[in-house]
Amino acid sequence: MTGDLLSVSLRLSHGPAFALEADFQLPASGISVLFGASGSGKTTLLRAIAGLEPSAAGRVALGPRVWQDDAAGVRVPAWRRRIGYVFQEASLFEHLDVAGNIAYGLRWQRDDGAADSRDESRVGVDALVGLLGIGGLLRRRVDTLSGGERQRVAIARAMATRPALLLLDEPLSALDFARRDEIMDWLLKLRDGTGTPMLYVTHSLEELARLADRALVLSSGRAAACDAPEAALRQAGLGVVADRLDRLRQI
Amino acid sequence: MSGLLAPADWAAIGLTLRLAMATTVLLLLVALPLAWWLAGSASRWRAPVAALVTLPLVLPPTVLGFYLLVLMGPDGPLGRLTQSLGWGLLSFTFTGLLIGSVVYSLPFAVQPLRDAFEAAGKRPLEVAQTLGATPLQAFVSVVLPLARPGLLTAAVLTFAHTIGEFGVVLMIGGSIPGRTQVVSTQIYGHVEGMDYAAAHTLAVMLLVFSFAVLLALSLLGRRRMRVLP
């Protein structure tokens, strides 16, 4: 595991109705869950970390890599941040088959010296396909896949470029319960099999309970706490939710 | 067949095809960025520009041709520019016709492309960027393939529309045999000269061509709708 920190200090507002303020540091390892109610700004924050929100101002860094530092005039565009991003809907490219989707990012990989020795230990595409159980789907058209299959392909596509950080935005919200359970299993396997740190956005307690190595609670546009999940919820003043999480964990 | 048509008719057909092909290529180059901007921009110029692009759809071709003629003429801004560059005047030349055709068919190329871009949305572009593609690489490798049906519709409509144009051509180009005489103006000439048989031959060709194009477009559209179960 790496000792890197993901440090974020961002301000962003969309008119008077919505303002986001986030200052936190997270160890870049395992699965960090970004938890909060709908409309709390989770997706916006994730997009800002990815470099998809031009109006977000502040600083974002992963270990020694500074992705954004407006005070120093640094802004690395999304396509050079070495991130993987899994959107809420799988958003597969309909004009490519499954293999084409997974390989899509590989053609743009730059050998800019940023690849460090750590990356060598991460798994290649073949292992990824095995880890996510999509070996049998490679020649399929993406519009013939089920919802769960689509999301697994989207995860494989995001992971194929060996990102330094995988961002996931409520990847299970479009799926039924059985599929959600299954994908969570795949995600845990992926975490243990690749060592890629993940930042996972959700408003589901169940996903928080199953996946979180740590939690960051976002309420009304502010990053409230960052600690072990129950403690994070209590610090954010969500004691009731923490109790429910506790009960959920015991089941 | 060659006995049926006079050499001037063949020249008109050749010129028409050349004009339609050149217009299609040039117009797609213009319409692609324009449609992309119209589909995604939040600029306050968007609505006026969209209206301007659509104008040739409702304006009488003679009005459009008239203004283009004035623009390209010896005292028009475009005419002055081309003269100062040593190119002479564009009115009554093939290049002049080409410019007129591009303006005249603009909405036919922009609208299908804009619809296709709007249907695809911004998401594919964002996904591609998170996978390491620059915006231009993402546009070429993802947005264009996804917009292919719209691209095809735009190309076919532009081609067919240019083949059938008359008013703009007559105003800008006149009907100079071998230089600016296209099929539609040739038909007009035949009718004026009371040569109805020759007019018929060319008119039927245009009719059949136009029907075939629209039929092909509609069949193409049906095939697109049939997605695998």
Q: Any idea what the CATH number is for the domain that residue B171 is in?
A: 1.10.3720.10
Token pair 């136009």 is found at B210
Q: What are phi and psi of B216, to 5 degrees?
A: -60, -45
What is the pLDDT confidence band of residue B70, given thresholds at 50, 70 and 90?
very high
pLDDT tens-digit series, residues A81-120: 999 999 998 899 999 999 999 999 998 887 654 444 444 4
Q: How many domains does chain B have?
A: 1
The alpha carbon of residue A248 is apart from the nearest alpha carbon of chain B, in Å, by: 34
Gap between the Cα atoms of A32 and A215, Å rounded: 6
Please state the ipTM of this predicted complex. 0.88
Average pLDDT, chain B: 90
Give pLDDT, residue B227: 40
Residue B218 belongs to a domain: yes
Residue B229 belongs to a domain: no
Residues of B within 8 A of A50 (CB-CB) are 130
Give pLDDT, residue A122: 57
Query: Is A6 a residue whose pLDDT tops 90?
Result: yes
Strand A57-62: give its sheet, edge to edge.
A74-75, A65-69, A57-62, A5-14, A18-27, A222-227, A214-219, A31-35, A198-202, A165-169, A83-86
Contact A38, A173 (CB under 8 A): no
Query: Is A127 a residue whose pLDDT tops 90?
Result: no
The alpha carbon of residue B49 is apart from the nearest alpha carbon of chain A, in Å, by: 25
A3 or B212, which is more confident:
B212
Set out the domains of chain A in order of their start, with CATH numbers: 5-95+164-250 (3.40.50.300)
What is the pLDDT confidence band of residue B226, given thresholds at 50, 70 and 90?
very low
Which member of A52, A77, A157 has the closest CB to residue B131? Answer: A157
Spatial CA neighbour of B22 closest among B88, B96, B86, B115:
B96
Residues of A within 8 A of B145 (CB-CB) are 93, 95
Q: Which helix (H) or strand (E) holds A215?
A: strand A214-219
B59 or A227, which is more confident:
B59
Q: Is the dihedral of CA B130, B135, B141, B146 positive or negative?
A: positive
Give pLDDT, residue A117: 42
Residues of A within 8 A of B142 (CB-CB) are 93, 95
Which member of B127, B134, B137 has the closest CB to residue A87? Answer: B127
Give pLDDT, residue A126: 87
Q: Taking residues A29-34, report their average pLDDT.
A: 93
The burial of A170, by beta-carbon neighbours within 10 Å (0-12 exposed, 13-18 middle, 19 or more buried), is given as buried
DSSP code for B143 = I
Give pLDDT, residue B46: 93
Query: Is A67 a residue whose pLDDT tops 50?
Result: yes
Q: Work out the number of other CB atoms within 10 angstroms of the CB of residue B228.
A: 7
Give pLDDT, residue B127: 96
The alpha carbon of residue A78 is apart from the nearest alpha carbon of chain B, in Å, by: 6
Give pLDDT, residue A109: 82
Interchain CB distance below 8 Å, A161 and B134: no
B227 or B178, which is more confident:
B178
For residue A73, CA distances in Å to A8, A59, A76, B148 come to 16, 10, 10, 39
Contact A63, A28 (CB under 8 A): yes
Gap between the Cα atoms of A233 and A219, Å rounded: 10
Q: Is the minimum CB–CB distance between B42 and chain A shorter than 8 Å? A: no
Q: Which helix (H) or strand (E) holds A8?
A: strand A5-14
Report the interhelical angle of B61-72 vs B77-84 (nearest 10°). 40
Query: Is A143 a residue whose pLDDT tops 60?
Result: yes
The alpha carbon of residue A234 is apart from the nearest alpha carbon of chain B, in Å, by: 34
Q: Work out the number of other CB atoms within 10 angstroms of the CB of residue B118.
A: 15
Give pLDDT, residue B228: 36
Domain extent at residue B121: 7-224
Give pLDDT, residue A121: 45
The burial of A122, by beta-carbon neighbours within 10 Å (0-12 exposed, 13-18 middle, 19 or more buried), is given as middle
Query: Is B27 a residue whose pLDDT tops 90?
Result: yes
Give pLDDT, residue B3: 65
Residue B81 belongs to a domain: yes
Give pLDDT, residue A64: 92
Residues of A within 8 A of B146 (CB-CB) are 93-95
Q: Is the minimum CB–CB distance between B127 and chain A shorter than 8 Å? A: yes
The alpha carbon of residue A203 is apart from the nearest alpha carbon of chain B, in Å, by: 22
Which member of B129, B137, B227 has the closest CB to residue A78? Answer: B129
| Chain A residue whose CA is closest to B226 | A143
Contact A220, A40 (CB under 8 A): yes
Q: Which helix (H) or strand (E) holds B185?
A: helix B183-192
DSSP code for A143 = G
Radius of gyration of chain B from its Cα atoms, rounded to whole angstroms:
20
Query: Is B164 a residue whose pLDDT tops 60?
Result: yes
Query: Is B125 a residue whose pLDDT tops 90?
Result: yes
Radius of gyration of chain A from its Cα atoms, rounded to whole angstroms:
18
What is the pLDDT confidence band of residue A157, given thresholds at 50, 70 and 90?
very high
